[in-house]
Amino acid sequence: MDSDLEMARHVVYVHQNKESPALGFTPLEPSVIRAYISAVRRLSPSVPQELEEYIASAYSSIRQEEAKSNAPHSYTTVRTLLSILRISAAIARLRHSETVAQSDVDEALRLMHMSKFSLYSDDRQKSGLDPIGDIYSILRDESETTGKQDVSYAHALNLISRKLGLCLELSLSR
């Protein structure tokens, strides 16, 4: 939520002032960034033997959790494991390290988890099971129909209740 508030403040500032606000820090020169990228590209981090079991266990746990869930299909394959290894190595490169650390693997696992979470969210939205999106659509449609930006709480509640009633009638008639 804080990031939403910060984003909103930034957009309002730019809209009012026709320029971006001061950064509050000195950005790196592009030449410095290019030199850093060039240096880390030459690194080839390896996974230490003590992390092999950790990575294998994490991958196995993810597969077991997916098997237990009622997800329609699995997104975790051997390619996922390879992605975890590649992302871990990329994070190690960012740290300018020749060795992958457990924190690199943990971050790669977190990124994969969030990626899959967004896939499941997309599936849920595509199947019409996104109540917040549905409510937003009802309110947006009403705003477009009336030409007003604001929809009162009472009116919104009435619109949503009516839509819910129609959905219930439809499902009961099947």
CATH number 3.40.50.300 is the correct assignment for the domain at 2-126: yes
The structural domains of the chain, with segments of one domain joined by +, span 2-126, 131-173
Instruction: List C-alpha distances in Å: 31 to 28, 37, 64, 157.
Output: 8, 10, 46, 56
Q: What is the pLDDT of residue 66?
A: 81
Q: Vertex 63, ends 57 and 69: CA angle to 5°?
A: 135
Give strand pairing partners of 99. Answer: 46
Q: What is the pLDDT of residue 105?
A: 96
Q: What is the pLDDT of residue 35?
A: 96
Q: What is the pLDDT of residue 125?
A: 53
Q: How far is C-alpha 173 from the geometric centre of its chain's CA atoms?
A: 38
pLDDT tens-place string over residues 130-158: 677 778 778 888 887 888 878 888 888 88
pLDDT tens-place string over residues 81-131: 999 999 999 999 999 999 999 999 999 998 988 887 766 655 555 555 567
Q: What is the DSSP letter of 15?
A: H
Residue, of 34 and 150, whose pLDDT is higher: 34
Residue, of 7 and 137, whose pLDDT is higher: 7
pLDDT tens-place string over residues 38-97: 999 999 999 999 999 999 999 999 888 888 876 666 678 899 999 999 999 999 999 999
Q: What is the pLDDT of residue 74?
A: 67
